[in-house]
Structure 1
Amino acid sequence: MTAEAPRDLVKRVDALHYATGHPVSIGIDGGIIRSVEPIAAPEGTRPRAPTFVGPGLVDLQVNGYLGRDFNRPPISPETIGDSVRLLWQQGVTSFYPTIITNSPDAIAQAAGDIARACEADRVTADGIAGIHLEGPFISPEDGARGAHALQYVRAPDWDLISRWQDASDGRVKIVTMSPEWPESSGFIERCVAGGITVSIGHTSATPEQIAAAVAAGARLSTHLGNGAHLMLPRHPNYLWEQLAQDELWTCVIADGFHLPDQVLKVILKVKGDKAIVVSDAVSLAGMPAGTYTQPVGGDVVLTPEGRLHLASNPRLLAGSAQMLPHHISHLIGRGLATSADAWDMASVRPASLMGRPQSAGIAVGAPADLVLFTADNGGVRIVETIKAGRRAGGPSEASINTSKITG
């Protein structure tokens, strides 16, 4: 178990509130926010690039990062622990490692590996809010299935979910599935009763099947607009139906590559405060530009701009290679969301959907999961992350303005 030094404790954070832009002083004790007080900025001391403070980012869908892959079991505790700490440097204080469609044994091993890593290290456990199973209960159809292996796609099976939940010691919290399968409604009801959030994704379901899934308790759409057929009837179709279901929260990949700005704009307008941004990052996120070979997708190319595509067909994406700060920057820079809304889409909203205490944001009694960042020309740059009242680092320790934090 990793032990932090007393010097890592943070007692106060002074910065500009991410939503109001006003200076605040946040008092912290025992990993909890104890006070949030306005402060007057002395005249002539406002920095040219002021530091803002926002609630910690919460990513519902992370397949891997910086060469660490959650879909190549066995997964070592070091791989999982390193991922937690590396994601903290990106402002992500909580995330859901995502296991995609695979054989039952491989999924069970990956879930068990994550559970054992959490049990061995409190720091790792603090960063992992739960496991997201993206499949294997998805559509077998080309297009809707995306890059998931057809040989492992199967109908919803409660016995399998129970097996994987046992392997993970109860950490499976999200299941992405397609309600096109017979008996989907009963399966969804059992998941919800068991504390699992059901998300509709990689689907070719009819509008009627989607409506039935929502009635049964499905509450989320997984990366809406992606993992979909290239051609759809203009109406009705499963995209319109998910947008029209008021009970559904909607996740989007806002990296500038997966969805056109016009589509993002429509989704955000329709879903309002139920719109969530996810990275859906794969293990090549954060890696240098170049050509790589992946277990899913084969040979892929990561461009200097951060676009990941198949080497054989540059028009086809091979996953997301950008973390949440990039997505937030895209939403702000393209005028698709205010800075406060873009940040909320990646922090308090996913926490609220999942019933996490971080949904309180910057408020007395909330966990002291905080991110210091600057916002220049629409771009967000992480300065330092605080997890449960302790310094969790930043992309460049040399860039940290320690005058903003007092220990």
Structure 2
Amino acid sequence: MWIVTLMDLSKTQVKAIDYATEQPVVMDIENGFIQSIEPVLLQEHEKSELAIVAPGLIDLQINGYAGCDFNQGSMPEDLVGNVIRMLWREGVTTSYPTLITNSDEAITQGLEAIARACEEDPVAAAGIAGIHLEGPFISPHDGARGAHSLRYIKAPEWELFCRWQEAAGGRIRLLTLSPEWPGSGDFILRCSESGVTVSIGHTSAASEQIQEAVACGARMSTHLGNGAQLSLPRHPNYIWEQLAQESLWSCLIADGFHLPDQILKVVLKVKGDKAVLVSDAVSISGLAPGAYTSHIGGNVVLTPEGRLHMAENEQLLAGSAQMQLWGIEHLLNRGIASLADAWNMASLGPASCMNLSSAAGLSPGAPADFVLFSKEGSRLRVEQTFKSGECVFKRNSLHH
């Protein structure tokens, strides 16, 4: 279903259907970069045999995968690199491992473990564009804090953050906080000036506090519409305010469980290219349906439909168990977005937001991080994943 020609060890040629134009193209890859991409004339029967090519997916918020948890007490040495490798089968070529609210020591240990993996494993170094620290500078209020432990939530501390950044080897690139704390504006300004993208999330901030945060450099909203109180003032409230801030990018969990379709539609209409998909997946993602124990939610259940809920109350979600590919399928199958637009929300959008070179997509000079996939009914199936021009995953292949 796809044509990949190895010209020599550093050169590859790919013939596929461009996800955006839906036309056949030939893409030449050399030394890890796209050298050229040109249309090619083919008969209809030849086109039907080709896979679809699209940029690699970029996940700004992922807590773990396939039983591996970035937030567990002491990570095995190979855990981080193994997760990066396993994510290839989901079409994810770049990610931001996410550490959530915890004790100062536990956060330090997690940051050090990820930094060590990047220093010792070239695959981890290439696949991790930065670390996402989600907390502990978030709202202490029930609902807004979500599943984050109230015990460790605190006001922003610049000296503490600097110590964490040192432990991470400078790799904290994304920080989720709530600007409701006194002094948040100055803290956000310092983060922004140091090259860290600040995202508003798990917040109960007033509109004026959100406005100040944006003025000081906040650029994103973390899983907008989730990590929120069940009841909010009709207006104003912190969801309306974040939607109204034109410079804020909106991250969305589009698994069909976290947000209803009408909310997804509204955010896409308001934000356009500044709406991006994240998985926010926990370690149970990638596992079979069943009952599990989570260090955050305790006893949880993953249903055959893909919904993860608390065992004692199925009305309460216990995190996301689906990847970005699932979110793309949901937007496509519900008629909320086209394939190209939905795919861009999980690839070019995150890359643009974080100023990554892969924002160039499928164009000459761009990194050769891309996916070959096929459509099977309502599902999208990853056939091959390429990282820096190398095929790192091939479906039905034991060697990847």
Tell me if TM exceeds 0.5.
Answer: yes
- The code of the aligned residue for 1:251 comes to C
Secondary structure of the residue aligned to 2:344 is helix
User: Does the 8 Å CA contact 1:254/1:330 hold for their aligned counterparts?
Assistant: yes
Q: Runs in 1 of length 4+ with deviation above 3 angstroms?
A: 5-10
The 1-side partners of 2:198 and 2:261 are apart by 27
User: Does the 8 Å CA contact 1:333/1:377 hold for their aligned counterparts?
Assistant: no
- The code of the aligned residue for 2:173 comes to K
Where in structure 2 are the equivalents of 1:6-405 lying within 5 Å? 11-47=12-48, 50-397=50-397
Secondary structure of the residue aligned to 2:256 is coil
TM-score, normalised relative to structure 2: 0.96
Q: CA deviation at 1:230?
A: 0.5
The 2-side partners of 1:172 and 1:43 are apart by 48
Q: CA deviation at 1:8?
A: 7.6
Secondary structure of the residue aligned to 2:173 is strand
User: Does the 8 Å CA contact 1:325/1:382 hold for their aligned counterparts?
Assistant: no
User: Does the 8 Å CA contact 2:54/2:372 hold for their aligned counterparts?
Assistant: yes
- The code of the aligned residue for 1:23 comes to P
Q: CA deviation at 1:6?
A: 11
RMSD of equivalent CA atoms: 1.6
User: Does the 8 Å CA contact 2:24/2:47 hold for their aligned counterparts?
Assistant: no
Residue by residue, what CA displacement relative to the aligned partner does 1:279-314 show, whole Å, maximum 9, x if unpaired? 000000011111111110110000011100000110
Q: CA deviation at 1:46?
A: 3.0
Secondary structure of the residue aligned to 2:234 is coil
Q: CA deviation at 1:376?
A: 3.6
User: Does the 8 Å CA contact 1:77/1:114 hold for their aligned counterparts?
Assistant: no
Q: CA deviation at 1:9?
A: 5.7
Q: CA deviation at 1:377?
A: 3.4
- The code of the aligned residue for 1:239 comes to I
Query: More deviation in 120-129 or 375-384?
Result: 375-384
User: Does the 8 Å CA contact 2:223/2:251 hold for their aligned counterparts?
Assistant: yes
The 1-side partners of 2:7 and 2:44 are apart by 34
Higher relative contact order (CA 8 A, sep 6+): 1
Give structure 2 stretches of 5+ with no counterpart.
Answer: 1-5
User: Does the 8 Å CA contact 1:90/1:395 hold for their aligned counterparts?
Assistant: no
Query: More deviation in 372-381 or 298-307?
Result: 372-381
- The code of the aligned residue for 2:237 comes to N
User: Does the 8 Å CA contact 2:56/2:347 hold for their aligned counterparts?
Assistant: yes
The 2-side partners of 1:145 and 1:395 are apart by 39
- The code of the aligned residue for 2:146 comes to G
1:405 — aligned with what?
A: none
Query: More deviation in 371-380 or 179-188?
Result: 371-380
Secondary structure of the residue aligned to 1:236 is coil
Q: CA deviation at 1:75?
A: 1.4
The 1-side partners of 2:156 and 2:7 are apart by 48
Secondary structure of the residue aligned to 1:317 is coil
User: Does the 8 Å CA contact 1:8/1:391 hold for their aligned counterparts?
Assistant: no
Q: CA deviation at 1:324?
A: 1.0
- The code of the aligned residue for 1:290 comes to G
Residue by residue, what CA displacement relative to the aligned partner does 1:6-59 show, whole Å, maximum 9, x if unpaired? 9886611110001000100110100000001111113532326x4100001000
Query: More deviation in 356-365 or 386-395?
Result: 386-395
Residue by residue, what CA displacement relative to the aligned partner does 1:94-143 show, whole Å, maximum 9, x if unpaired? 00000000001100110000000110011111001100000000000000
- The code of the aligned residue for 1:108 comes to T
- The code of the aligned residue for 2:255 comes to D
Secondary structure of the residue aligned to 1:111 is helix
Residue by residue, what CA displacement relative to the aligned partner does 1:187-239 show, whole Å, maximum 9, x if unpaired? 00000011000000000000110001000000000000000000111111000
Number of residue-to-residue matches in the alignment? 394
- The code of the aligned residue for 2:40 comes to I
Cα separation, partners in 2 of 1:176 and 1:36, compared to 1, 3 Å: same
Residue by residue, what CA displacement relative to the aligned partner does 1:120-174 show, whole Å, maximum 9, x if unpaired? 0111110011000000000000000000000000000111111111001000000
Q: CA deviation at 1:375?
A: 2.5
Residue by residue, what CA displacement relative to the aligned partner does 1:249-272 show, whole Å, maximum 9, x if unpaired? 000000000000011110111000
The 1-side partners of 2:7 and 2:362 are apart by 23
- The code of the aligned residue for 2:186 comes to G
The 1-side partners of 2:163 and 2:127 are apart by 24
- The code of the aligned residue for 2:363 comes to A
Q: CA deviation at 1:395?
A: 4.5
- The code of the aligned residue for 2:332 comes to I
Query: More deviation in 376-385 or 267-276?
Result: 376-385
- The code of the aligned residue for 2:119 comes to E
Secondary structure of the residue aligned to 1:89 is helix
The 2-side partners of 1:93 and 1:326 are apart by 16
- The code of the aligned residue for 1:205 comes to A
- The code of the aligned residue for 1:333 comes to N
The 2-side partners of 1:253 and 1:274 are apart by 14
